[in-house]
Structures are given as C-alpha cells and as structure tokens.
C-alpha cells in the first residue's frame, strides 16, 4: 500500500514510519517543505496527483497555538484550506484521506470526556482552523476518516515531555498548570492506532470511512500531573529530576485561551477497529525510558 503523508518532520510521521505493522506493508511517500508547502495553493494537490498513492494522511498542521492568534490567515490556509484541497485531490483520484484533528475543536466546558457527537465550539484561532479543516474534508471527500487527538508527545521533535526533562536539568523546581484536564497521547500509540484502521483499508474494508473518531491516551490528568509522572520516571531511571509545583492557568497567561477539559473518549474507535489506547502513564514510562536510553 502506498501512503502519502504530510508533515515529514512531525512526531506522528516519524512514529508511523517505525510502526512494526507498517514497515513491510507500506510504501511511505512522505511530503513536506520545501517540496510541498501547504501555504501554497495547489502544492499538495500536485503531489497527490504525481505520487498516485492509495491513501492520503494529512498530519501536517500549523500547531503553534499562541502564534496562530497573531496570524489567522496563515493558520487557516494550512489547517483548513490545504486540508480541503488534499481531500478534493484525493477524491478526484478515488483515494481515501485521513485527516488528523485536535481536542481544541471543543471549548473545554464539559464535565466528562468528549465524545465525537458532542458540540464543537473552539476558543481560539487554532481550534477554529482545525474545525474548518474537518468541515472542508467532509465536504470534499466522502471517503474520509477524521481522527481527533490531544496532548501529543514522543521521543521525537519538541514536545511537553522532552521540555520537562530538559528543564529538570536547568531548574531547582518546576511550576506547571494544574487546572487543565486532558488525555496525554504518545504518537507511538497514535500511529499504532491509525495503522489498525489503515490495515483494514488495505484489505478493502471500508469500516470507518465517512466518520469522525477520537484517539487519545486512556485516562486523564493535568499538565502538572503529566509533569509529575515524567519526573517520577526520571527519578526511577537516575536522571535529573525536581519537584513539580501546581499553579493555576491564571498564573501562566497565554495569548490563546486553552480548554479547561480536553479529555477525549476513544471508545468509538476501539469499537470500530478493535484498538484500545494504553493508559497514559504506561506510555509516558515507555517514552521516558526510550529518551533515557538515547542519551
């Protein structure tokens, strides 16, 4: 199966490339700048036409949430319009598309974990752009799979877990927001989950097409809880570790508002594809151990 995936330097793409179930079964056509620039209309559509894949995964996005507030046009171009163009190009060639989306399409006011059928109401530009991307994909290509995820981290690139580990070697104590709830998600797990759906598509199974799913780590915590778990694993492994103190969102002001509750319910995905995301603590342990081994 030939899969064209955008975002060649991103955490998810790097995780997909090393997923065991994909190593022999998939020919990856990884695209990104400068060859394919989502800021340029038509760039991704041409790549889809020229590469002739069997499936498109749009994993690229403008993800700097605070910067998105300052450059709405660029954010919408990448996260909404380019997604729509990719879906349209895929439809023209009878190709399904997987669009990766975000918990930020919700306003965070729900008391429980968000299900796919709950009302969307993004708080900022980033969330609005990703929701617009979902809408454009749905309108352009009926053979779509929209997958929302949250709080991504991995052994790759820049992410919260790596930032906390680095900060532990530079500071005496860490202060981290403790009143935002979410589902920390290892992109290694996310990639494995996506492959469970992709393997079905490769066999001609159309399960899930035309649907929206959530796929995030099992359970919930706060950013402070996540940082505390990272430090506990660092302590266990003999790495730099410091105490983590809780603070309120009001004590850490940001340009873009953050949802109070970003927990996603991934039950629908598990029912459809037989894949259940691991508990977030287990996955944090695995990533910290891998980062420790790489030092």
Domain extents in the chain: 2-158+185-218+263-279
Q: Which CATH architecture has domain 2-158+185-218+263-279?
A: 3-Layer(aba) Sandwich (3.40)
Residue burial 198-209, b: 16+ Cβ < 10 Å; e: rest: bbbbeeeeeebb
Work out the angle at residue 54's Cα, subtended by the Cα atoms of residues 62 and 3, and round it to the nearest 5 degrees: 45
Catalytic residues: 126
How do the pLDDT tens digits run along the chain, 295 residues long?
999 999 988 999 999 999 876 666 789 999 988 888 898 899 999 999 999 999 999 999 999 999 999 999 999 999 999 999 999 999 999 999 999 999 999 999 999 999 999 999 999 999 999 999 999 999 999 999 999 999 999 999 999 999 999 999 999 999 999 999 999 999 999 999 999 999 888 878 788 899 999 999 999 999 999 999 999 999 999 999 999 999 999 999 899 999 999 999 999 999 999 999 999 999 999 999 999 998 7
Q: At what angle do helices 280-294 and 223-237 cross, to 10 degrees?
A: 50
* Alpha carbon distance 60, 45 (integer Å): 14
Work out the angle at residue 266's Cα, subtended by the Cα atoms of residues 261 and 270, and round it to the nearest 5 degrees: 170
Its pTM surpasses 0.75:
yes
């Amino acid at each position: 199966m030939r899969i064209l995936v955008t975002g060649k330097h991103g955490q998810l793409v790097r995780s997909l490339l090393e997923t065991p179930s994909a190593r022999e079964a998939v020919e990856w056509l990884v695209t990104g700048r400068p060859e394919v620039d989502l800021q340029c209309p038509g760039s991704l559509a041409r790549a889809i036409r020229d590469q002739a894949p069997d499936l498109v995964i749009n994993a690229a996005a403008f993800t700097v949430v605070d910067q998105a507030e300052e450059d709405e046009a660029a954010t919408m171009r990448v996260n909404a319009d380019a997604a729509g163009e990719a879906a349209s190009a895929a439809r023209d060639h009878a190709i399904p598309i997987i669009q990766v989306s975000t918990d930020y399409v919700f306003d965070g006011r729900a008391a429980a974990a968000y299900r796919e059928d709950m009302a969307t109401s993004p708080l900022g530009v980033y969330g609005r752009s990703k929701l617009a991307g979902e809408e454009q994909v749905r309108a352009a290509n009926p053979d779509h799979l929209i997958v929302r995820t949250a709080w991504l981290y991995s052994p790759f690139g820049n992410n919260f877990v790596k930032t906390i580990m680095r900060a532990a070697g530079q500071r005496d104590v860490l202060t981290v927001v403790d009143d935002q709830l979410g589902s920390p998600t290892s992109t290694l797990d996310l990639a494995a989950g996506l492959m469970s759906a992709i393997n079905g598509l490769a066999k001609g199974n159309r399960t899930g097409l035309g649907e929206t799913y959530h796929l995030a780590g099992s359970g919930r915590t706060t950013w402070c809880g996540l940082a505390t778990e990272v430090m506990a694993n660092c302590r266990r492994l003999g790495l730099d570790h410091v105490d983590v103190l809780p603070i309120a969102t009001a004590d850490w002001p940001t340009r873009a508002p953050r949802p109070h509750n970003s927990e996603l319910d991934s039950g629908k995905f598990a029912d459809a594809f037989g894949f259940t995301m691991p508990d977030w603590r287990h996955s944090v342990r695995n990533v910290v151990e891998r980062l420790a081994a790489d030092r």
